[in-house]
């Protein structure tokens, strides 16, 4: 077998010298290197911001969605949306393990979910079998390659596969929601009624304790009903997350002008940076989990309104994130029921 770089740089076609994620094109030949894992792909879970953009571009037409996705992979060798820059993740079966990786805790035939983005994963789509556009999932016939540095989770046997995939896709968010807030904090989750948002509410409510406050911001009363059904927050509010002044005024009312200690942004649309910043205390913290976030808008926007607010750009990986996210499905019957209905 050919010897490969731990970070997959050997797969980069254009431009040379960069890592696979920022590369414009990578090699998706499925003849693997000695430090790679070949996966027989079953399902792609497309990043929410990416799939929302694809659906809008296709006008909701399934065949056009398929064409856009296949063209992305044909052009780039990976599923990296050229508009949002984001990808998603996949589940599939281990078909082959490179000779340099013998001895790892994985064997041929294991079913896994990749915990690295499709925006850096060599992918070949032979056929798109089904598009489930309401939950951002696409069943395919195809292959993918996981680099030596790539992280993964063997799918649990006690949860439905599509449920596990949906939860693992956003596992970084609830893991951060568990460690960023302190006891007694006020936490605002923007997009709290969405897939990642509800998991964040659950973990944040545990983190802040009895004297803390968790606020769920959703776009509609209908969406908030799901969060209320599972008793995920202390306060619930509707607002347009792209309207910074509306969000600021409503959060100010709920907090008596104190604002949030921690704001977690989980929305999948652009232009919500200033809502997050204005809703947060000067010495507070904003966690941007959304792939629709603009670093420029966040940085210059905070400067422009004189807010000394710490900001974290969401990292889809944090230690123990897969275990934390899957455990929520085991611990909360209410959330599991909601997720099975919506995403599985």
Q: Do residues 190 and 243 both lie within one domain?
A: yes
Residues 208 and 333 placed together within one structural domain of the fold: yes
- Coil, helix or strand at residue 289: coil
Based on the fold, state whether residues 126 and 177 are members of the same structural domain. Answer: no
**pLDDT of the residue at 343:** 80
Which of 155, 187, 207 is at the close of a domain?
155
Residue 31 to residues 22, 71, 83, Cα–Cα distance (Å): 22, 21, 29
Q: What pTM was estimated for this model as a whole?
A: 0.84
**213 shares its domain with 130:** no
Domain span including residue 206: 172-343
Give the residue from 98, 129, 155 where a domain finishes.
155
The chain-wide mean pLDDT, for the chain, equals 95
User: Which CATH number covers residue 248?
Assistant: 3.90.180.10
- Does some domain include residue 261? yes
Residue 179 located in a structural domain:
yes
| 139 lies in the same domain as 16 | yes
Helices (H) and strands (E) in the chain, counts: 11, 14
Alpha helix positions (H), the chain: 48-58, 62-76, 161-169, 172-179, 195-208, 221-229, 244-254, 273-278, 295-304, 321-331, 333-343
* Residue 163 domain-assigned (yes or no): no
So what's the pLDDT on residue 3? 93
Note whether 150 and 201 are same-domain residues: no
Residues 182 and 315 in one domain: yes
Name the β-bridge partners of 131.
138
324 and 218 in a common domain: yes
Number of structural domains found in the chain? 2
Q: Do 187 and 230 lie in a common domain?
A: yes
Q: Of 155, 190, 225, which marks where a domain is finished?
A: 155
Confirm if 63 and 184 have CB atoms less than 8 A apart: no
pLDDT, residue 325, reads 95
Domain assignment of residue 3, yes or no? no
Assigned domain for 143 exists = yes
- 101-152 pLDDT, tens per residue? 987 889 999 999 999 999 999 999 999 999 999 889 999 999 999 999 999 9
Residues 197 and 289: their CA atoms lie apart, in Å, by 10
* 106 occurs within a structural domain: yes
The answer to whether residue 60 sits within a structural domain is: yes
Task: Tell whether 188 and 283 lie within a shared domain.
Answer: yes
pLDDT digit string, tens, across residues 55-67: 999 999 999 999 9
Residue 37: per-residue pLDDT: 98
Q: Alpha-carbon distance 232 to 41, whole Å?
A: 34
pLDDT digits (tens, 9 = 90+) for 282-340: 999 999 998 888 999 999 999 999 999 999 998 778 888 999 999 999 999 999 999 99
Residue 160 lies in a domain: no
- Both 266 and 335 in one domain: the answer is yes
262, 139: one domain: no
């Amino acid at each position: 077998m050919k010897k490969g770089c731990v970070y997959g740089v050997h797969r980069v076609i254009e431009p040379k010298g960069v890592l696979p994620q920022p590369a414009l094109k990578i090699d998706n030949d499925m003849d693997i290197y000695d430090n790679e894992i070949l996966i027989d792909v079953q399902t792609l879970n497309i990043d929410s911001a990416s799939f929302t953009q694809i659906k809008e571009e296709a006008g909701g037409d399934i065949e056009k969605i398929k064409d856009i996705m296949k063209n992305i992979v044909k052009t780039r060798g990976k599923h990296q949306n050229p508009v949002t820059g984001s990808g998603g993740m996949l589940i599939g079966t281990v078909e082959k393990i490179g000779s340099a990786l013998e001895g790892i805790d994985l064997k041929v035939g294991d079913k896994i979910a990749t915990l690295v983005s499709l925006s850096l994963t060599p992918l070949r789509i032979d056929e798109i079998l089904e598009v489930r556009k309401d939950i951002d999932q696409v069943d395919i016939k195809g292959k993918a390659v996981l680099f030596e540095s790539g992280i993964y989770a063997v799918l649990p046997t006690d949860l439905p596969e599509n449920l596990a995939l949906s939860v693992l896709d956003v596992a970084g968010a609830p893991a951060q929601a568990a460690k960023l807030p302190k006891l007694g904090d006020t936490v605002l989750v923007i997009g709290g009624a969405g897939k990642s948002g509800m998991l964040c509410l659950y973990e944040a409510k545990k983190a802040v304790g009895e004297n803390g406050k968790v606020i769920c911001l959703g776009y509609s009363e209908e969406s908030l009903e799901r969060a209320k059904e599972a008793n995920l927050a202390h306060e619930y509010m509707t607002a347009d997350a792209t309207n910074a002044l509306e969000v600021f005024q409503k959060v100010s009312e709920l907090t008596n002008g104190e604002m949030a200690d921690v704001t977690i942004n989980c929305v999948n649309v652009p232009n919500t940076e200033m809502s997050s910043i204005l809703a947060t205390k000067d010495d507070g913290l904003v966690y941007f989990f959304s792939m629709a976030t603009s670093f420029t808008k966040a940085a210059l926007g905070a400067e422009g309104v004189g807010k000394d607010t710490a900001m974290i750009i969401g990292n889809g990986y944090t230690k123990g994130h897969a275990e934390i996210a899957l455990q929520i499905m085991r611990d909360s019957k209410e959330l599991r029921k909601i997720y099975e209905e919506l995403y599985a």
